[in-house]
Amino acid sequence: MGIDSLVGGTIWDEYSDKVTDLMNNPQNMGDIKQEEAEAMGAKLIVADFGAESCGDAVRLYWAVDPETDIIKESKFKSFGCGTAIASSDTMAELCKGKTVQEAVKITNIDVELAMRDTPDTPSVPPQKMHCSVMAYDVIKKAAAQYMNVDMESFEEEVIVCECARVSLSTLQEVIRLNDLTTVEQVADYTKAGAFCKSCIKPGGHEEKDIYLVDLLDAHEKEKMIAGSSLGTAAGSNAEFAKMTVVQKLKATEKVIDENIRQMLISDGGDMEILDIKENGENFDIYIRYLGACNGCSSADTGTLFAIENILKEKLDQNIRVLPI
């Protein structure tokens, strides 16, 4: 359970005060014995997870009320670096008082954000971000054991990097929060792309639907759109759901005209809206690419992400863009 090695003492500047304190004074380290769980009227869950990429491992203990599924106590043992200890301790704390079903929704981003001293400053150096991924995975392992289901059944996310088990939403959030611009930076923060490298760009041993270069491209396009349309808005997010279909079409066209179309035209392409349909809580916007965008390699990846994200930001978070 060693502490991360130092280089000239300066690496401490890259850790939040919360992390450095938890490295040396974890609040939830230990175990829960069977008799202790029984005294609480709880079911004992013990789950192990190891990260092959770095050799760290964590064991998670839950005492779960079988009547309510609430986690009454949560403890851990971590075998690895100081960051793994801090991440595991934070993860165990976040689990307390939640139902198992709520706990399984805790992500590695939640763990890292909870360790920050200030909202805008990362809590750990980028190369240590993967420790919070391990904490995220052991929660799913414990929940799967308690609910007697496959761990993979909780995987609602698209996994971009299979080696490091990093999801699409995690990558998008980390890239956005830290304004990452290179594959090397993404690998430092998440370990995605650091191993077999198939998720970086087409041509690796495993074909992917989404690559890291697509996500970086989408982020750059979003920044370009945001910079060129500062202060513009097509209407209140809360109002979009109340609009008629015709009003939704007009609002969507307005956002596209003011924020997206010029970007497409500059690349020799364009798009048109075919239909908007409500699908449960989602608003599915069907589009057709025109010109150079039709058949472009990024039309279903980077360009699509940029279009969808700006429509979500300007109109409604439940919008999905579906090219036809």
21-25, 145-149, 187-191, 209-213 — which is least confidently predicted?
A: 187-191
pLDDT of residue 11: 61
User: Counting Cβ atoms within 10 Å, is residue 248 exposed (0-12), middle (13-18) or buried (19+)?
Assistant: buried
Q: How confident is the model at residue 52 (pLDDT cuts 50, 70, 90)?
A: low
Among positive and negative, which fits the CA dihedral 195, 199, 202, 205? positive
Mean pLDDT of the chain, nearest integer: 85
- DSSP SS3 for 48: strand
pLDDT of residue 211: 94
- DSSP SS3 for 160: strand
Average pLDDT over residues 52-68: 85
Look up residue 207 and give its amino acid: E
- DSSP SS3 for 39: helix
Average pLDDT over residues 103-120: 88
Residue ranges and CATH numbers for the domains of the chain are 10-151 (3.90.1010.10), 232-323 (3.30.300.130)
How do residues 265-291 score in pLDDT, each as one tens digit?
888 899 999 999 999 899 999 999 999
Is the pTM higher than 0.95? The answer reads no
Kindly tell me if the per-residue pLDDT of 75 is higher than 90. yes
- C-alpha count within 13 angstroms, C-beta hemisphere, residue 169: 11
- Structure tokens belonging to residue 232: 């513009």
Q: Give, in order, the Cα–Cα distances in Å from 106 to each of 23, 94, 100, 300.
A: 21, 8, 10, 29
pLDDT of residue 46: 97
93-102, 151-160, 180-189, 270-279 — which is least confidently predicted?
A: 151-160
Kindly tell me if the per-residue pLDDT of 161 is higher than 50. yes
Q: Annotated active-site positions, please? A: 54, 131
Q: In angstroms, rounded to a whole number, what is the distance separating the alpha carbons of residues 199 and 99?
A: 34
Q: Do the beta carbons of residue 286 and residue 311 sit within 8 Å?
A: no
Nearest to 323 by CA among 296, 314, 253: 296
